[in-house]
Amino acid sequence: MRRLPPFVVVSLLALAGAAEAGMTRMVVSDLPYAPVWHAAVRAVCDYPVERAADGLIQTDWLERAPRDGETGVARVRERATVRVESSGRLTTRVTVEVEAAGWRDGQWVPIAMTRPSETAILDRLRDALASRRS
């Protein structure tokens, strides 16, 4: 039986593994917790990190320009929560949840569509893991 390279498995699970709205998951099936944790910390390097310990990374708000589809707001702020959990000796689960708000009419209003930001964090994590394997 032919095995897929580990990074392919990670990519497929990241795309298929988001069961809950506002939360994106990825399973790394060939690395222990420690290297995945370090890659997760690097993946949120653009955000101001408030806490990174015990498998939980929480960031402070980061402001950015609105993306396509985020119309009617002058700017956007978002913060991320990343959970890294060991599911066995060589299996690690990563969950990313982003909360976003847009500035409209003098106040911050929630933005429901956070998948692009969640996917971007997982992409950076996947890139960090791929460079580790090279």
Structural domain boundaries enclosing 100: 6-133
Kindly report which listed range (17-26, 41-50, 76-85) carries the lowest average pLDDT score.
Answer: 17-26
Asked, for residue 106, whether it belongs to a domain, the answer is yes
Q: For 23, phi and psi rounded to 5 degrees?
A: -150, 130
Asked, for residue 52, whether it belongs to a domain, the answer is yes
Asked, for residue 118, whether it belongs to a domain, the answer is yes
Asked, for residue 1, whether it belongs to a domain, the answer is no
Model confidence pLDDT, tens digit, residues 77-114: 999 999 999 998 999 999 999 999 999 999 999 999 89
Average pLDDT of the chain, as a whole number: 86
Q: What is the CATH number of the domain that holds 108?
A: 3.30.530.50
Asked, for residue 69, whether it belongs to a domain, the answer is yes
**Number of residues written out for the chain:** 134
pLDDT band per the 50, 70, 90 thresholds, residue 23? confident
Asked, for residue 16, whether it belongs to a domain, the answer is yes
Please tell me whether residue 32 adopts helix, strand or coil conformation. coil
pLDDT band per the 50, 70, 90 thresholds, residue 131? confident
| Percent of the chain clearing pLDDT 90 (strictly above) | 73
If you average pLDDT over residues 61-74, what whole number do you get?
94
32 in Cβ contact with 6 (< 8 Å)? no
As a whole number of angstroms, the distance between CA 22 and CA 110 comes to 12
Q: For 125, phi and psi rounded to 5 degrees?
A: -65, -45
What's the total number of domains in the chain?
1
